[in-house]
Structure 1
Amino acid sequence: MKNKPLLALTLLSVALNSCTDHFPEEPQTPVSFTEVASIDLGETAASEISAYDPASRRLFTVNNESTAKVEVTDLSAFPTVSKLQSIDISSLGGVANSVAVSDGKLAIALEAANKQANGSVIVMNTTTLATIKQITVGALPDMVTFSPDGKYIVTANEGEPSADYTVDPDGSVSIIDVTDNYSVKTLSFGAFASTYNQLATNGFRVYGPGASFAQDIEPEYVAISSDSKKAFVTLQENNGIAELDLTSGTILKLHPLGTRDISKLVNAMDASDKDSKVALATWPVKSFYLPDAIAPFSVNGSEYLITANEGDAREYTAFDEQKRVGALVLDATAFPDAVTLQKPENLGRLRVTSTRGDIDNDGDYDVLYGFGGRGFSIFSAASGQLVFDSGSMLEEEAIKAGIYDDDRSDDKGVEPEGVTIGTINNKPVAFIALERVDAIAVYDVSTPTAPKFLQMLKTGDAPEGVLFIAPEKSPNGKGLLVTSNEGDGTVKFYQI
């Protein structure tokens, strides 16, 4: 087959804060965000995740560049923002990975000094900053969140292996019952090992060298249902979502996510950083979604989940699954035009996994599996069924806005990492952080099967955390969007 670009898009210059070129003719949600404040947390800061306390009007932001600490920003005179004394937690463990706030309590997810040992959650008073409790959880708690009713604190414990892959702790999820003196139940995934063959058929991955099923699972991010009864946890490297019952403290299901078919025009992508152009095209590749952040929302009484399909590969000293297509031996029947296909300007530069694709075990690759959906997906929370996938939409909008980075074409593209939902004019609006183009894509998702693009909003360098503060909780009574930008240490604030 010939792999000519089926959809070539020319870079266009547009004003990022203008609505004119981005809105549908009759926008579902008339919204245009503009930056109204910003704070730099230091030259070496890495601002990752933020949480806001409406009672104290303080923003708490993880910053681990020099030492483990949480930055505290005063928003009481917003849009004037000022930095307060940091919370130094370096003596309590290793790196702080995430923060969450509920009812005057700040929860901090802290990995152990030995990354493969059990980590902890520190709960503090948001006003006095006094420590209320430190609770042991699983290895490498990467994300922490409160349930909407404040009863539970839930952590996704990634359980990453050591660089030499000799120590690989179980991935797990910890459920902390705030109302029961912070009692904790940590759940691992070994009971699902017998179902792996069926899960794998639908795109689930377990592939770490020498790892058991429980060790290989790597929880990444948590979303909790509006009734505080269920948690949905992305298993990023495994390409799945776990569904948990918080009341009983059990794992109910694992939902494999399948792959995105890049041979279809709706999923077209730029696969080369060496083709001297930006052009989305179809290719004989299937790409694992590998979601990072996940967020819940509801429409007309139905519950949904939205994921940011970043893509992530295992890359360690002793094991790196990534290979470029140009370095592989391709099956001559599956890829009759392999010589052309493997040129750098075509598919040769694309990173794919070496762990899957040799279907007949004869030493060559019959299928190519890439990393990341390069977009976002929406699922029914009740059934786990996919109701919408953005395909190439995010990259098309980045190209139109003149911010697409062709240097990342061979490696996960715009790289959607964070996502949150805000309610504006009684409609759910999604904010998707695009790490590699330094922007937030804004979508009206009031029709979950057909989201509407609203705006591409420029941020600081490499936005990771994205937070929406509702008007009734905002320091100035207006809806407030906050981005935590890992690359330049800034936190930026946007309002309509």
Structure 2
Amino acid sequence: MLKSGRRHLMASLIIPISILSGCGGSNDEVKETTTPVAPTPVSMTLEKIGSYDGVALGAAEITAFDPASKRLFVVNGANGSVDVLDLTNPTTPKLISTINVSSLGGGVNSVAVHDGLVALAIEAKQKTSPGVVAFYNAADLKLLHSVTVGALPDMLTFTSDGKSLLVANEGEPNSYGLADSVDPEGSISVITVNRSGTSTVSTADFKAYIGKEAELRSSGVRIYGPGANAAQDIEPEYIAISADNKTAYVTLQENNAIAIVDIATAKVTAIKPLGFKNHNVAGAGLDASDEDGGTNTNSGTPAIKIVPQPVKGMYLPDAIARYTINGSTYLITANEGDARADWPGFNEETRVATHCKLGLDPAIFGSDAANWLFDSNLGRLRITTTPNGGSAGKNAAGLCTDLYAFGARSFSIWSSDIVRVYDSGDELEQRTKALNNVAFNASHDNNTLDGRSASKGPEPEGVVVGTFGNKTYAFIGMERVGGVIVYDVSNPNAPSYVTYLNTRNALTGDRGPEGLTLIAADKSPNSKPLLIVGNEVSGTTAVYQLNLTY
């Protein structure tokens, strides 16, 4: 993932959508309806009906739609701007304008829309400095005003009533331990929206946790950046908002946790660790190597081998979406995984064979512990050297006792108090192995079989949720292999697979889905529910139609 960014029925029918959260933006069709006013579909398929090609890597990241003007706002990471597309005819989106923010900062990371008001998250020219949120009128693209927020503002979303706008300020460092190192604090800006004047900003920060790093670590929250206190180390990534607009749930991706924020007071009320996934049970395995076509070898060939492995998965979610079933709130996370691997002065990412040079502890890994280190087994799997603070997952003799992989290659469902009620196990990898248009676990920039098996697999990144009648569907975008997979999550304890569409063709087509935006039928330009997918690597904005059967 590039950190600079991120992302029906007949016209007379209204579809109650209980949450709308794509990877990076939020739209004004977010509604909370307790009684369905539309029939319940028997099935659903996705159909690609339109596309716009930005003709550059990063030209389509996060998207947001304004129903009144029928304009689609697309973050163009290649130019640091926003492309404005006319979506009057969703089969042929047309570029009508571009919003240039060079006078306000270094580039746009995210966009959200509510009732004709467009909000842009703009990072500073020096990303460690405070950023800006700028407000524009969707109809004429006039800049209304801007406000200062935290360092590296990324995902932003309106409350459903449009009165508040919340921004996840990642606060990434420029490096660790160097003479010019700057590590700003992460935070969540709570903006009180003023359409006729200047909005005001309150800050939900993590200062209260400075000095409590040991307590956080012991609870399972990852605090591990060299020399960073808790406020500096915590990096808010993505936000979902409760139905009553009182509470925000914020993924802290690198920290493997979720923060709970009281919106009215702009206070962080809790930080909840997500724990680890056990990949060593049936149905929760993974393909851990791109050389697993042999037995106990360091020169194997690629093969599809999804099996249980003695590995722990750190969820490290990117996008989060909220929905409600029978009055209870549930959260869905796309467990992408993200390593601090590209920072000058610090790199936590390594491979099992490198990290465990002295071997694996046979008391844990069994009598054949030595065999796990072969490249055809776990030797090439990318893991962290620093699961939490100074821990390295080793015993006093230097033998590895725990192996922690990035991401869980799944989506998970959590209760509102952050207790996991469901995880998709190895199903995402299982569903992608039969594709005939792209090699299994290929990355978004190649078509190599097993290319991402040793590193996070399909990498689920974006998620949006929509309710149709009495069914709720989750749409999950898979950043690496591509496409959007759909599950019926009406029963949070037992979701069921619905459909999967991947519009990639080897090294062409839509690659690297980043942001997802769901458009309800009553807001849609063609009176059909639409899913907009910003594909970062191909630079294409795809328009999917949801075809529902009754």
Q: Same fold (TM over 0.5)?
A: yes
Q: CA deviation at 1:436?
A: 1.0
**Equivalent residue, structure 2, for 1:125:** 137
| CA distance in structure 2 between the partners assigned to 1:353 and 1:413 by the alignment | 16
| CA distance in structure 2 between the partners assigned to 1:354 and 1:421 by the alignment | 35
| From 428, 447, 471, the counterpart of 2:491 | 447
Q: CA deviation at 1:359?
A: 4.8
**Equivalent residue, structure 1, for 2:383:** 352
**Equivalent residue, structure 1, for 2:44:** 31
Identity in percent: 46
Q: May I ask how many residue pairs the two structures share in their alignment? A: 468
Q: Which moved more, 1:245-254 or 1:397-406?
A: 397-406
**Equivalent residue, structure 2, for 1:488:** 538
Q: CA deviation at 1:78?
A: 3.1
Q: CA deviation at 1:226?
A: 1.6
| CA distance in structure 1 between the partners assigned to 2:275 and 2:67 by the alignment | 40
**Equivalent residue, structure 1, for 2:24:** none
Q: CA deviation at 1:380?
A: 1.3
Q: Which moved more, 1:167-176 or 1:418-427?
A: 418-427
**Equivalent residue, structure 1, for 2:410:** 375
| CA distance in structure 2 between the partners assigned to 1:177 and 1:425 by the alignment | 33
**Equivalent residue, structure 2, for 1:394:** 428
- 1:178 equivalent in alignment to 2:193: yes
Q: Equivalences for 1:111-260 in 2 at 5 Å?
A: 111-165=123-177, 166-179=181-194, 181-193=198-210, 195-260=212-277
| From 303, 308, 315, the counterpart of 1:282 | 308
Q: Is the 8 A contact 2:155 2:167 kept in 1?
A: yes
| CA distance in structure 1 between the partners assigned to 2:253 and 2:463 by the alignment | 14
- 1:307 equivalent in alignment to 2:333: yes
Q: Which moved more, 1:318-327 or 1:392-401?
A: 392-401
In structure 2, relative to structure 1, the CA distance for the partners of 1:394 and 1:44 (3 Å cut) is: closer
1:440-479 Cα shifts (integer Å, max 9, x gaps): 0101111111111011111410101011101111111110
Q: Is the 8 A contact 2:128 2:174 kept in 1?
A: yes
Q: Which moved more, 1:201-210 or 1:281-290?
A: 201-210
**Equivalent residue, structure 2, for 1:58:** 71
- 1:328 equivalent in alignment to 2:343: no
What is the SS of the residue equivalent to 2:523? coil
| CA distance in structure 2 between the partners assigned to 1:436 and 1:348 by the alignment | 22
Is there any run of 5+ residues in structure 2 with no aligned partner, and where? 1-39, 293-301, 442-449, 504-509
**Equivalent residue, structure 1, for 2:61:** 48
**Equivalent residue, structure 1, for 2:122:** 110
Code of the aligned partner of 1:365? C
| CA distance in structure 2 between the partners assigned to 1:379 and 1:348 by the alignment | 32
Q: Is the 8 A contact 2:317 2:336 kept in 1?
A: yes
User: Could you say what the CA RMSD is over the residues aligned between the two structures, in angstroms?
Assistant: 1.7
What is the SS of the residue equivalent to 1:168? coil
| CA distance in structure 2 between the partners assigned to 1:210 and 1:195 by the alignment | 14
1:48-85 Cα shifts (integer Å, max 9, x gaps): 100000010000010021x2210000012333321111
**Equivalent residue, structure 1, for 2:112:** 100
Code of the aligned partner of 1:162? N
Q: Is the 8 A contact 1:470 1:479 kept in 2?
A: yes
| From 339, 350, 355, the counterpart of 2:370 | 339
| CA distance in structure 2 between the partners assigned to 1:195 and 1:393 by the alignment | 38
Q: CA deviation at 1:192?
A: 2.5
In structure 2, relative to structure 1, the CA distance for the partners of 1:391 and 1:194 (3 Å cut) is: farther
Code of the aligned partner of 2:171? G
Q: Is the 8 A contact 2:413 2:492 kept in 1?
A: yes
What is the SS of the residue equivalent to 2:521? coil
Is there any run of 5+ residues in structure 1 with no aligned partner, and where? 1-26
Q: CA deviation at 1:33?
A: 1.2
Q: CA deviation at 1:417?
A: 0.4
Q: Which moved more, 1:158-167 or 1:243-252?
A: 158-167
What is the SS of the residue equivalent to 1:318? coil
What is the SS of the residue equivalent to 2:65? strand
Code of the aligned partner of 1:327? T
Code of the aligned partner of 1:394? L
Q: Is the 8 A contact 1:28 1:452 kept in 2?
A: no
TM-score calculated relative to the size of structure 1: 0.91
